Amino acid sequence: MKVVLIGFSASGKSAAGALLAEKLSLKFIDTDWEIVKTHGSVQGIFARMGEQGFRRLEEEVLLRLRNEDNCVIACGGGSVLCPSFGEAAKDAFVVWLKASAQAILSRLDGSRPLLWGLDENQLRAFMAERESAYKFFAGSVVDTSDKTPAETADSIAELLKNASDAAQR
């Protein structure tokens, strides 16, 4: 089983993904953490290489993960824009974690360079730019606006159970 979590920054992919992996006894992989382990902080990467450089590193991670199994993968917010995303998510249960702009703003901690200084209207516009890609890849959607990471993980686990039950019928 391979579960891939997609969604905008601060939608809860990393926090809920770690809990979901633990709950399902699966390996947890966070694409941003994979990049940070070898290249330093996201802010530092953006400062040195810009967004294009970060996307190249993200592409490399996605290509490495295409054959992973028995895992939950929390993807960076822009991963769905990478050419290899479809291959990395092939045969996976892809869930879009969707949150309101207000929820995203309340969760920001200053570690996301693309979101520095955005007001709610600018954030909504940025979110709208990625929405069609999230819709394209997602088999399921969980609104995380008012959910804790544990509640989000439980919702995803329930979706997985329902999908498994439907496949057995």
HSE-CB for 19 with a 13 A CA cutoff: 14
169 annotated ligand binder: no
11 annotated ligand binder: yes
Listed residue (9, 5, 7, 6) closest to 118, CA to CA: 9
d(CA 82, CA 102): 26
d(CA 57, CA 86): 16
77 annotated ligand binder: yes
47 annotated ligand binder: no
113 in Cβ contact with 43 (< 8 Å): yes
d(CA 153, CA 130): 23
14 annotated ligand binder: yes
CA geometry: angle 120, 118, 136, nearest 5 deg: 70
Binding site membership: which residues? Answer: 10-15, 32, 55, 77, 112, 130
Binding site membership for substrate: which residues? Answer: 32, 55, 77, 130
Binding site membership for Mg(2+): which residues? Answer: 14
